[in-house]
Structure 1
Amino acid sequence: MKQFKLLYLCLSLFVVFSCKTDKGNDTLAYAVETHKDASGFSYETVENDPTGLRLYTLDNGLKVYLSKNNDEPKIQTYIAVRAGSNYDPKESTGLAHYLEHMVFKGTDEISALDWEKEKEYLKQISDLYEEHKAETDPEKKKALYKKIDEVSLEASNYCVANEYDKMVSSLGATGTNAHTWFEETVYKNKIPANELDKWLKLESERFSQLVLRLFHTELEAVFEEFNRGQDNDYRKAYAAMLDGLFPNHPYGQQTTIGTGEHLKNPSMVAIHNYFDKYYVPNNMAMVLVGDLDFDATIKKVNETFGKLERKEVTHPTLPVEEPITAPIVKEVFGPTSESVSIAFRSKGVNTDEEKLMTLADMILANGKAGLIDLNLNQQQAVQNAGCSPMFLNDYGYHTFNGSPKEGQTLDEVKDLLLAQIDKLKKGEFEDWMLDAVINDLKLSETRQYENSTALASMYYNAFIHHEDWQRKVKFLDDLKKITKQELVDFANGFYKDNYVVTYKRQGEDNSIVKVENPGITPVNLNRDKSSEYLTNFNAIEAAELQPQYVDYKTAIKESKTDNGIKVSYIENELNDLFDLNIIFDMGSDNDKKLGLAVGYLEYLGTDKYSAEDLKKEFYKLGIDYYVSAGSEKSYVGLSGLKENLPKGLELLEHLWANAVPDQEAYDKYVDQIIKGRQDGKTQKGNILFNGLMNYGKYGDNSRLRNIMQASELATINPQELVDLVKDVKNYKQRVFYYGKDVDAAIAALNTHHVLPSELKEYPEATAYVEKETGGNVYFVDYDMVQSEMLFLAKGEPFKAENMAASTLFNTYFGSGLSSIVFQEIRESKSLAYSAFSSYSNASDKDESNYVMAYIGTQANKMPQAVDAMMELMTNMPEAEEQFNAAKEATLKKIAAQRITKSNIFWTYEGLQKRGIDNDNREEIYNTIKDMTIEDLRNFFNTNIKGENYNVMVIGNKKEIDFKALSKLGEVQEMDVDHLFNYEKPEDVKL
C-alpha cells in the first residue's frame, strides 16, 4: 500500500472494524461537540473520532491540534503556515522555500552578538541585493556580488551561526527540519515531553520576527538544492506533468524551488514582505501529538504563541483552468530509465470527486488485488505500474505510472494503463472489491496512525487544506455509501481523453542550467561565542527525564509449538492486528538461488488457485503475506486482523506446499530481472551507494556481485526453484508473533504449519572479506550537474565499548544541522547542500566499523569541498560549548527513547548479532555522561585521524577536476556493469 495515498483519507488510530460493512447500515454518529477545559479554553471534538483530537482556536486565530499518544515520552510537533510556492510573486519564484531556510537563522535575540551593528550591515546587504537584482550588466552584477560577499563577512562577526539548531538539539529533539510545497510551509521537531516549555519559548521567539542573516551562503546552499533537482529525472517529469495539467495555475507554473534566474537574483525586501504577510497566527497552526496533558499544554501554548499579533490575511486569487479536451503530450529527457505517466486533473479536497477518485484509485491499484496489480504487475505485462491520487486546495490529479519491459514501447505501456481504466469504466471488477478496499484502508490507517508522527501529519494537512475534521473522521463511512454503479458512472464521466501524458525518455537534457562557482568567502561561525538569549535559554531547567531500559529476557516471552518450534512473542496491547514471522537463519549467502526462488513464488498459483485468485483470497481476508530472503535470514510472514490469522495461515501454507511451476511466468520473471538490472544501473544513487560503495569495501568479491548471470537464469528449470522454496520448510526455524491471544496463534501453527520430525541444518554460508582501504579513487561517469563523493575507511572490528564515543562523536562532528561538518562545509563555506560524516558501527560482531564522509556539490566546487572535508577529518575543531550541547542532546535522546511493541524483538535480534545480550543503552548513557572533550579527542585521534580512504565519485566526466581527484589516490574509471557483475546486454543470449 502506497503510504502517500493515505494522507488524504479518513484515518483510524484504533481498530474500527466493528462498523458494519453493509452499505447504509452504519449507525455511528460524528457530531461536532464544543467543550471547555479547566482553564476556560474552548475546544472542539468529533464524536467517535478514534484519534481523540482536541482542536483549539486561540484569540489571535492560531489553530492548535492536540492529541495523546503515550507510547514514548515525546511529542511530535509541527508548526504549519498556509504559505507556499503558490503565493510566490511571479518575479521571485522560490521565495517561500528560501524563506523557510532563513527562519532557521535566528532573530534579533537568537544568534545575535551585537544586533545594533549587525542590522546596519544587513541593511547594506539588502540594498546591495536590490541593486544586484536591477542591474543587467554581467560585470557590474559580479562586482555587486563581490561587495555583498565582503559586507556579509563583516556582518558575520556580530552573530553566531546555527544557534537555533544548537538550542533545539540541546532539548534532545530529533527530526528537526522543514518543507515547503504549493500551499504550505511546515516546521518539524520531535521533542522529549519534558522539554515542551523550552521548545515553546524558543519557537515563539523564532516566529516573532525574521532576520535575514548569513543570507548569501544559505542562498548558495539552496542553489545546490536546485542542482539536485536538475539531477532528478523524477522531479523533472513531475514538473512537466504539472505544467500540462495547469497551464495557468501556479501548481504548474511556479515550482517550489523556483527558477535559476530568480534564485540568483533575490530580494531580501520581498522575503520580509512575504513573512510579514503570511507568518501571522491566524494563518498558522500548531500540531502537538504525544505524551501531553491537554489542559496544561494549551495554557502554555497560549502564554507563548498567544502573544503573536493577529493580522488580516488575504491569499491571492489564483487562475481557473479551462477543461482539458484532448490529450496533452510532454517529454522529458535524462539519464535514468524510461517511463510514462498519465494524469487526469480533478477537483480538490472537500469535494465529492475526492471520495469517488479515492475509491477508483483503490480499485485500480491497492498493491495487492487491484486491476493494475493483477492484470499488469501480476501478469508481468509491464516492468511495473501503479497509480495514486493527490488532492490540493484548488485542484487534484490522478496519476498513473508505468515502466516498460525490454522491447516494450512507452506507448504500449500507456495503452495498457488506459485499458485498466476502461475495465473500471465497464464495471469489470468483482462486487466484493468495494468493501475489501475500504477495509484495506482501515487496516492500513490503523497501522500508520499508531505512531504520533503520522497522525500529526494528518492534522497539519487538514489545516493546510481547510478540511473539516468531522468530514475526515467519517470519510470511510461516506465511501461505503458509494455504489458500484455510482463509481462506474463517475469513471465514465471523469476518465476521457482529458489527460496529460508525460514520456520520460533517455537522452540529454538541453534545459540544464549551469552556474559558475561564485567564490564565496567563508563567513565566521563564532562557534566559541554565544548570544545572551542562548545563555539564558541554557540556564532554564526542565524536569529531568529518566531513561528506561528493556529487560529483553522478560519482555520477550517464549512458548513452543507441538513440534518443538520456539515461539517468541510480545502482546499487542493497542489493537487486534497481528504480525507472524517464521524465521530461518539462512539466506542467499547460504544459497544464492534462494532469493530467486522466493521472488518467483509471487507469480505462481497452485493446483487449486491461480496466482491471481490467491491474491484475491488474501485480499478478501484483509491479510498480507510475504516470503523474503535476505543475505543471512529468510522470512515467511503474515499480518492483518487477528481473527483471520488461521484462514490466512492455511492459505499461505497451501501456496507453500502446492505451488505449481509455470515456464511462461518464469521466462517473464527472468526478463523482468534483467530489465530491472538495466534500469537500476541508470540510477545514480544505486551506482554510488550500492555499486561503488560495495566495491570500495569488498572489491570484486562482494555479495552484490555474487549473482546469477542472465545466461544462467535462462537455463534454470522452474521446478528446481519451486522445490527449493518448498524445501525451506524442512530447515531449522523459529517464530516471532506480535499480537493478542498467542495460544490461538500457536494453535493455528499446530494445525497448518506441519513439519518433519527432524529439521535440517543450514548450508554453509559464503564469506565475504572486507579489503583494506586507501589510495583508490573509483569514478563513474554520469550525466549530472552535481558531483557526489563518498569517502570510506575501514576501521577496527566492532567493539561494543566504542558505541558510546561514536554516538557522541556523530552528534558533535558529523550529523545534524548543528554538527561541525554541516556548519563548516555548508554554513560557512557554502560548498555543498548535503555534507555529513559518521563513524559507522558494524551490524555484526565479526565485521569492521567504517569511517564515512559524503559531499554532494557542483563539480566546480568539488576540489574546495574535498579540501575542506579532509581538513576536518584530519583536525577535528574543538569547541567546548558545542561539545557540551552535543553531549546533553545525546543523553536526552537516549532518555526519551522507548523501545516498544514488536521493536523489542527486532532490536534484540540486532543486538545479539553484535554479540550483545542486554540493553546496552544503559552502558552507553552512563559512559557519555562522564565523557569530556578530551575523551572525544582521543576517540578521534585513534579512530578517525589518519585513516586511509577509498573515494567513490560519480559525476559528469566533462566537468570533473581529475587532477584534484588524483591527489586522493589512483583514479580508476569503473564500468557500471562490472560494479554489479552484470553481463553486457549484447552478451546475453536467452
Structure 2
Amino acid sequence: MKYLRFLIVALLAFCCAACQKYRYETVEGDPLATRIYTLDNGLKVYMSVNTETPRIQTYIAVKVGGKNDPPETTGLAHYFEHLMFKGTSQFGTTDYEAEKPLLDEIEMLFEVYRRIPEEAARRAIYRRIDSLSYEASKLSIPNEYDKLMSIIGADGTNAYTTKDMTVYIEDIPSNRIEQWARIEADRFRDPVIRGFHTELETIYEEKNMSLTNDNRKIMEAVDAALFPNHPYGRQTVLGSQESLRNPSITNVKNYHATYYVPNNMAVCLSGDFDPDRMIEVIDRYFGDMEPGAEVPELCFEPEAPITEPVVRRVYGTDAESVVLAWRTGGAATPDADMAELVGSILYNGKAGLLDLALNQKQQVLKSDAGAYVRADYGMISVEGRPKAGQSLEQVRDLLLAQVARLREGDFDERLILAAVNNHKAELMQTLRTNEGRADLYIESFINGTPWAETVHRTERMARVTKEQVVAWARENLGADSYAIVFKRQGPDPTVRKIRKPRITPIVMNRDTASRYVREVQAAQVDPIEPHFVNYNREMSTFRWEPGAEVLYKHNDGEGLFTLTYVFETGFSHDPLLSPAMSYLRYLSTPDMSAERINAELYDIACNFSLRTMGERSYVTISGLGENMGRAMEIVEDLIARAQPDEAILATLKENLFKSRADAKMSQSGNYTALQRLMFYGPDFVRATTLTDDRLLELTSEELLGSVRTLFAGPHRILYFGPASQQELRSELSAHHPAPTRTEAPDAPHMQQLLTPENKVYVAH
C-alpha cells in the first residue's frame, strides 16, 4: 500500500510538473479567457479558443516597422515583408548549395551599385546583377510558400507593414497546426533573400502608385507636420525614392538578425484548438530560435509643443478637402482612452458635434473626426469636404468652431456615456471574430499595453467625467496647436516616378517542387469531421404576416442584435430609391427632430442603415438587444411619418451634384463606374441613373413615396439576437407595419453582359 501511495503521489507530481511547464498569464474578467505565454527565448504567445468553426486565425507580429528603418535605406521594413515570402534554404530552391554563391555575389554587387554615383557604371553593374539573377532563377522555385499554404488549406495569406509593426497573416484549418508551425518557424529563422531585383520592381510600382494616391499624400503630410523629430514624420513606410534606388541586401540581413528575434515577436491566435497542445507545438518549432542580445530602442528627440498652426498643401486629382490634426500621447499613455472618447464626441456617425452641427444640417459636403493612436504618439484629426461654392478656408473655420465647442464644454454630458456604450457594443462585435480577437492581441503587444488594460478599458472610460474631457481638450486641442493640410486640385509638382531598370524575365520553374514541399504534401493528418448545417435545427422560419417571412437565429453568446428587412426591389426597379434613402436621413418626424433621432439612437447604442442595390434593398437596425424595441420604434416612425423639408431637399440636390463632380475626379470612382458599364452595358446605366435634369425635378412627395411604397411591399425579415421568437413577434407587432402588397414589382433581371471578344475599357 505504501508503494502504491508513492506511485500515485509521484504520478500526480509528474502531471502537475507537466501542466506547469508552460506558465501563462490570465486577466480576471476577460471574456476571451486569454492565455498569454512567454517562452524561454522571450517569444510571446497570445491565444483564445473559439470553436465556432474548425479554423484558426494566426498572426505573427514583429515589433518593427517603418519607424525603425535605417535613414539610408528607408522602406526596408516594407520590402523585407515582401522578401519573407521567397522561401528558405529548405524550400523555394532546387539546390541551395548551388544557388548560394550566386546570391552572395548579387548581394556584394548591390553594395557596390549603391555607392557608385556615375550612371554608366551603375548600369553596367545592374546588367551583371540582372545576369546573375537570371542564372539564380534557374535554381529557385517561385511561390513555394504560397503552394505550402495551399497544401495545408490556409486562407487569407497576407502581410502588412505600418510605422510600428510588421504582421504576417494566415487562417489555417485546425488540423494543420503542426505543418503551419514548422513552415512559419523555418521562414522566420532562415529567410533567403532571392528574387531581390524582381521584387524591387514590384515595390517601385507600389511607390509610384502611392504618388497619385491623394489620401496617402494627405496622411504623410499630416505626419510630417505633427512629428518633425520622430520617424513617424521623417520617413514613410514605402521609403524614399533615393533609398529604393539604392537598396542593400546586407542591410536587409542585418535588419532581420536585429529585429526578427523571438524576444521582439508575438504569435497571436484565436480559433478551434487545444491551448496545451498548441503551446507545446509552438515551443517545439519556435522555442530554439535564438533571442536577440539587445533589440535597439528607438531614440528620438521629443516633439516640441505646437504654438501656431503648421500649414501644409497637397495637390492631386481627387476632390478638395481639408484636414486638421492635434498631436496626443501614445497608446500606453492615459491619452489613449481620452482620445477615443473625444473622437467619438466630435464624430460618431450619428450624434457627435460634427454630425449634428455640420453633416445633419448640410453645412459641408462631408465631415468626420477620429482618434488615431500609435505606439509613440497619437493624434485627433478632423476632416471636411466643401460644398459647391464653399472654400476650404470656410470649411476649416466650421471644423475649428466645433473643436472650440468641445474645449468650452458646449456638449451634452450624455454623449460620454453614449460613447462608452457604443464602444462596448463595438467591442462585442470585434470579439465575435477570430480576426478581431487576434487584432486586439497585436495592439496590446505592439503598443506595450498590458492585456488587462484592454479588458477593462470600457470600465475606465465609464469613469471619465465631462470636466475631465473638457480639461483634456483644453490642454491637447488648443486653438493654435494643430497641423492643417489643404488638399487642392491640380498637378502635383513633387511627383517624380521611379524609372524601373530593364529586367530579364526570370525562369519560373512552375512544374518543380522542393523536397520540403513534397514532405508537407505527404504528411498525414487527422481529417476534420464535417459539420453539416441543418437549417431546420440551427435556425427557424415562420410567417409573421402575409408577405413577411421571418428567418430567426437565436444568439445567446452576447447581447447584440441585428434585424434586417430585405426587399426584392432595388434601383433597377426604382432609381429614386437611392436619393430617397439619402433624403430620409436628414428629416424629422412630428415628434422628434432629425438631430434628436440620431442622438437618441446613439444614446441607446443602436444603429440603422438604409441601402439599395441593383435588385434588393435593405433596412438594418442593430445594437444592444435590450434596446431593440426603442430602436425599432424610432426608425419605423421616421419611415412612416418623415416630414418633407424643401430647404433640406434643395441643399441635398446641390450636394449630390457636387458629389457627382467629385466622383469624376476620383480614380476609384472612375474605376467603379467603368466596371458597372463593362458588366451591364450602357442601357442599364442609363435606365438606373437619374440625369441631372431629372435629379433637379425631384420632389419630396416622390422621394418619400418611393420609400413608403417599398415598405408596403413583401419582404423577408432576418433576425439574429438574444430575443426569443415570441419576443420578436411582439416587437414586430408593436412597431413594424405588415405589408399591404404581397407581390414585388417586375423588372428586368440584372444580366451581366457576355464577353464573346476581348475589349479594353479606359477612363482617363
Q: TM-score, normalised by structure 2?
A: 0.95
User: Quick one: which amino acid aligns to residue 325 of structure 1?
Assistant: T
Which residue of structure 2 aligns with residue 681 of structure 1? 664
Which secondary structure does the structure 2 equivalent of 1:134 belong to?
coil
Give the match for residue 857 of structure 1. none
Determine the structure 1 residue equivalent to 2:175.
194
User: Could you say which residue in structure 1 is the equivalent of 2:6?
Assistant: none
The within-5 A match list for 1:842-853 is none
Q: Which amino acid aligns with 1:584?
A: F
- Picking from 679, 688, 691, the partner of 1:709 is 691
2:504 is the alignment partner of 1:521: yes
- Correspondences of 1:448-847 after superposition (within 5 Å): 448-496=430-478, 497-552=480-535, 554-561=537-544, 565-688=548-671, 690-703=672-685, 706-740=688-722, 741-755=724-738, 758-759=740-741, 761-766=743-748, 770-772=752-754, 794=755
Deviations 1:516-545 (A, max 9, x none): 342211111212222222222222222112
User: Does 1:62 pair with 2:43?
Assistant: yes
* Mapped pair 1:140 → 2:121: yes
Q: Which amino acid aligns with 1:135?
A: I
Cα displacement string for residues 692-746 of structure 1 (whole angstroms, at most 9, x for unaligned residues): 2232234321247632222222222212322332333322223121123121111
Retained in 1: the 8 A contact 2:201–2:500? no
**Seq. identity, %:** 38
Cα distance in 2, alignment partners of residues 492 and 318 from structure 1:
27
Describe how 1:821-970 pairs up with structure 2 within 5 A. Answer: 948-954=757-763
Structure 1 distance, partners of 2:582, 2:291, is 58
CA contact (8 A) 2:327 2:476 kept: no
Alpha-carbon offset, residue 110 of structure 1? 1.6
Letter of the structure 1 residue corresponding to residue 104 of structure 2: K
Q: Counterpart in 1 of 2:403?
A: 421
Residue 952 of structure 1: SS of its match in structure 2?
coil
Between the two proteins, the alignment pairs up a number of residues equal to: 746
Query: In the TM superposition, what is the alpha-carbon distance from 1:766 to its structure 2 partner?
Result: 4.4
Counterpart Cα distance in 2 of 1:125 and 1:767: 58
Establish whether residue 378 from structure 1 lines up as the match of residue 378 from structure 2. no
**What aligned pairs does 1:281-320 form with structure 2 within 5 A after superposition?**
281-312=262-293, 313-320=295-302
- Of residues 131-140 and 747-756 in structure 1, the stretch that sits farther from structure 2 once superposed is 747-756
- State the alpha-carbon separation in 2 of the partners of residues 737 and 248 from structure 1: 52
* Correspondence for 1:885: none
Distance in 2 between residues matched to 1:454 and 1:62, nearest whole Å? 21
Q: CA deviation at 1:553?
A: 5.0
**1:605 partner letter:** S
CA distance in 2, matches of 1:694, 1:949: 17
Q: Of 4, 10, 34, which residue of structure 2 is paired with 1:53?
A: 34
The CA RMSD over aligned residues, in Å, is: 1.8
Deviation at 1:583, TM superposition (A): 2.1
Question: Runs in 1 of length 4+ with deviation above 6 angstroms?
Answer: none
Residue aligned with 2:682, SS: coil
- SS of residue in 1 equivalent to 2:138: helix
Q: 1:115 to 1:728 in 2, by over 3 A?
A: closer
Runs of at least 5 residues in structure 1 that lack an aligned partner in the other structure:
1-34, 773-793, 795-946, 956-990
Q: Is the 8 A contact 2:546 2:742 kept in 1?
A: no
What residue number does 2:65 align with?
Answer: 84
Residue deviations 1:578-637 (CA, integer Å, cap 9, x gap): 111222211222221122212211000011111111111222222212233222112223
| TM-aligned CA deviation for residue 642 of structure 1 | 1.9
Report how far residue 321 of structure 1 moved. 1.4
Give the stretch that moved more between structures: 268-277 or 553-562.
553-562
Equivalent residue number for residue 355 of structure 1? 337
Q: Tell me the distance in 2 between the aligned counterparts of 1:765 and 1:189.
A: 43
**How far apart in 2 are the matches of 1:96 and 1:628?**
40
Shift of 1:395: 1.1
Q: Is this contact kept in 2: 1:339–1:401, CA < 8 A? A: yes
- Structure 1 residues 567 and 767: alpha-carbon distance in aligned structure 2, compared to 1, 3 A threshold: closer
Cα deviation per residue 1:21-65 (whole Å; 9 max; x = unaligned)?
xxxxxxxxxxxxxx9972521100000011211000000000000
Distance in 1, matches of 2:99 and 2:699, equals: 75
| Superposed displacement of residue 80, structure 1 | 0.7
8 A Cα contact 1:646 1:745, kept in partner: no
Task: Please give the alpha-carbon distance, in whole angstroms, between the structure 1 residues aligned to 2:82 and 2:686.
Answer: 39
Compute the displacement of 1:564 (Å): 6.6
Counterpart-to-counterpart distance in 1, 2:579 and 2:288: 62
- Paired with 1:82 and 1:716, the residues of 2 have a C-alpha distance of 55
Q: How far apart are residue 83 of structure 1 and its match?
A: 1.3
Shift of 1:687: 1.3
Q: Does 1:412 align with 2:221?
A: no
In structure 2, list runs of 5 or more residues that go unmatched.
Answer: 1-15
Contact 1:580 1:738 in 2 (8 A): yes
- SS of residue matched to 1:463: helix
Q: Deviations over 1:424-465 (max 9, x none)?
A: 112111122111110011011111220000110110121111
| Structure 2 residue identity aligned to 1:280 | V
Q: 1:587 to 1:698 in 2, by over 3 A?
A: closer
In structure 1, give the amino acid aligned to 2:123.
K
| Structure 2 Cα separation of the partners of residues 417 and 607 of structure 1 | 30
Query: AA paired with 1:653?
Result: E
Q: What is the CA-CA distance between 1:273 and the residue it aligns to?
A: 0.6
Matching residue of 1:443: 425
Are the counterparts in 1 of residues 366 and 385 from structure 2 also a CA contact under 8 Å? yes
Contact 1:341/1:501 (<8 A) preserved:
yes
**Does the Cα contact within 8 Å between 2:204 and 2:498 map onto a contact in 1?**
no
Of the candidates 157, 161, 164, which is equivalent to residue 142 of structure 2? 161
Q: Distance in 2 between matches of 1:43 and 1:308?
A: 20
Specify the code of the residue in structure 2 equivalent to 1:501: I
Measured after TM superposition, the shift of residue 91 of structure 1 is 0.7
Indicate the SS of the match to 1:221: helix
TM-score between the two structures when normalised by the length of structure 1 = 0.74
Secondary structure of 2:19's counterpart equals coil
**Alignment partner, residue 813 of structure 1:** none
Q: Distance in 1 between matches of 2:271 and 2:460?
A: 29
| Paired position in structure 1 for 2:12 | none
Is the 1:703–1:768 Cα contact (8 Å) retained in structure 2?
no
Counterpart CA distance in 2 for 1:376 and 1:503 is: 19
Closer, same or farther: CA 401–36 of 1 in aligned 2, 3 Å: farther
Q: Distance in 2 between matches of 1:705 and 1:345?
A: 49
Letter in 1 for 2:707: V
The answer to whether the 8 A contact 1:645-1:745 is kept is no
Q: Partners in 2 of 1:604 and 1:329 — Cα distance?
A: 37
Task: Provide Cα deviations, 1:241-283, integer angstroms capped at 9, x if missing partner.
Answer: 1111111211011101001121121111111111101111001
Deviation at 1:156, TM superposition (A): 1.1
Partner of 1:204: 185
